[in-house]
Amino acid sequence: MYCKNCGNMMDSQAVVCVKCGVQAGTGDRFCSNCGQEMTPEQMVCIHCGAAKQPRYNRTYAAPVRESKSRLAAGLLGILVGVFGVHNFYLGFTGKAIAQLLLTVLTCGIGGVASAIWGLVEGILILTKQINYDAQGIPLSEM
């Protein structure tokens, strides 16, 4: 068995990877069967043919969450990106807080830069230059 986060070989009874410290079964960067690197879009490992296991929360064995809407994220970026709403929606809370603080703490003066930032990111989302949310889940077209 290989760590799906770093590709390190793991004991089948291991709870966490000794190399990266991530819980066993978590991640999707490497094939758990052969340890080869995989892209997020791949459903099957091209090296060994093993199917990628769906993401799930090991504690509850339920899906982590559904993908976010590209259209919603793009429009939020264009319309209210000055407050970082699109980044909150996509789970990028650090960037979102930076945008919000830039606007609020400068009494709106820094809001011009934050608005341009949000507009650019909104356009990048809608033109498919930004394709994943903070958890690496692809954005949906709905």
Q: Are residues 44 and 74 in the same domain?
A: no
How much is the pLDDT for 90?
95
CA of 126: how far to CAs of 25, 114, 123, 137, 142, in Å? 32, 18, 5, 16, 12
How much is the pLDDT for 55?
52
Q: How many domains does the chain have?
A: 2
Q: Are residues 91 and 122 in the same domain?
A: yes
Q: What are phi and psi of 25, to 5 degrees?
A: 85, -5
Among 105, 139, 137, 110, residue whose Cα is nearest residue 122: 139
Ranges in the chain, pLDDT < 70: 53-65
Angle, helices 70-80 vs 111-126, to 10°: value is 160
49 assigned to some structural domain: yes
